[in-house]
Chains A and B, each alone.
Chain A
Amino acid sequence: MPFPSSEAEDALHQRVLAGDPVAPADLFAHFVEPLMSAIQHDLRCDHENARDSSIEALFDYLRSPSIYSPDRGRLCTFLTQIAKHKAVDRIRARSAEARREQEFSSLVEVRESAPNERMERSAEAQKLWQKIEQVVQDERDRLALALILDGERSTDALAETLGIKAETPLERQRAVKRHRDRLVKILERLGEKLRDE
């Protein structure tokens, strides 16, 4: 499906500016598919990224349509640029996430292969656990970390280990999440440090 003609684009832009209630729906009908094709062709990104980036670009434009100036080029070029930036941002974010997950999983593997009593089995694993112990001084935190590394997801189990006494289940859940995020951050930092070493 190709982009609309230059005249059709201008007319649509004028309708958007004038607050025509149906113009946004028409904009989606005419632009999402060609935008997706353009991004997939140029960036070789996946369908989901192309779709979400195209949709986000259109919502950006619809939030403040006056940011587009017809004197500076066609609307399709303007929207494609926004969508491409969004697609590239998503690709970068996914790469960073994948890297963090890899670092985190390397620590999980260490932990899984050598939980407390079995640590002696591997000198390397023991060394790594010692590094965790150096960083995490609090015994409750260490136990919670051990649970997290073993895949424990129960709020109650973590709350008990961390000694959290909250008045309501919601407060308890929030407190556990706060502690969990803090501990995972510590692991992430340790993962980065180990990777550098």
Chain B
Amino acid sequence: MTNRENWLESAARRAQRATWSLGWNLTRLAELEGTSSRELAAELNCDAATVQWLFLCRSPTGERFAEDVERIASRFSLDVKRLAGLIRRADAVTALAAWGHDASEGILVAARDRQDDQEKP
């Protein structure tokens, strides 16, 4: 493993915990869909190192979404439509997962409140 491969792998792994990064979104997608980074690379028709570089990019957001995706695709020679589709899917599952978490938290709070009420004399 070269020096660059060595630190790139570590940096990409660390990016999975950085909420601003594409690594965060793509990792949530991979977790929820049960896919590996190799499958991610196959979907984008690129190699594993390119996926690691993608992880280090800032996640495209809001009004600049299309422009940002184009910039990322151009930088890493990726198909812009495939990349846009993947990032939109990642955004969707991340949002759904966050909603699901909030919803289950709400249910737990309600359940606890109910239990407390029942325990009161």
Q: Residues on A close to B: CB < 8 A?
A: 19-25, 28, 32-33, 36, 51-52, 54-56, 58-59, 62-63
Give chain A's interface secondary structure class.
Answer: helix
Q: Could you say which of B14-22, B37-45, B93-101 contacts chain A?
A: B14-22
B75 to chain A, nearest CB (A): 5
Q: Residues on B close to A: CB < 8 A?
A: 3-4, 6-8, 10-11, 14-15, 18, 20-22, 53-54, 56-60, 64, 68, 71-72, 75
Contact in complex: A19, B64 (CB < 8 Å)? yes
Cα A10 to Cα B6 with chains together (Å): 27
Contact in complex: A24, B7 (CB < 8 Å)? no
Contact in complex: A21, B3 (CB < 8 Å)? no
B8 to chain A, nearest CB (A): 8
Contact in complex: A21, B59 (CB < 8 Å)? yes
Contact in complex: A59, B18 (CB < 8 Å)? yes
Q: Known contacts being A55-B7, A55-B11, A62-B20, is A28 close to B57, with CB within 8 Å?
A: no
Cα A56 to Cα B15 with chains together (Å): 10
Give chain B's interface secondary structure class.
Answer: helix
Known: A20-B58, A58-B11. 18 other contacts (CB 8 A): A19-B58, A21-B22, A21-B71, A22-B71, A23-B58, A24-B56, A24-B57, A32-B7, A32-B11, A33-B7, A36-B7, A51-B10, A52-B10, A55-B11, A56-B14, A59-B14, A59-B18, A62-B20
Closest chain A residue, CB of each to CB of B18: A59
Contact in complex: B4, A33 (CB < 8 Å)? yes
Chain B residues near A36 (CB-CB < 8 A): 7
Q: Which of B54, B56, B64 counts the most chain A CB atoms within 10 A?
A: B56
Chain B residues near A63 (CB-CB < 8 A): 18, 20
Q: Known contacts being A51-B7, A55-B7, A63-B20, is A20 close to B71, with CB within 8 Å?
A: yes
Residue of B3, B22, B57 near A33 (CB, 8 A) is: B3
Contact in complex: A24, B14 (CB < 8 Å)? no
Chain A residues near B15 (CB-CB < 8 A): 59
Cα A18 to Cα B22 with chains together (Å): 17
Chain A residues near B59 (CB-CB < 8 A): 21
> What are 20 A-B contacts defined by CB distance under 8 Å?
A19-B58, A21-B57, A21-B58, A21-B59, A21-B60, A22-B57, A24-B21, A25-B53, A25-B75, A33-B4, A51-B6, A51-B7, A51-B10, A55-B7, A55-B10, A55-B14, A56-B14, A59-B15, A59-B18, A62-B18
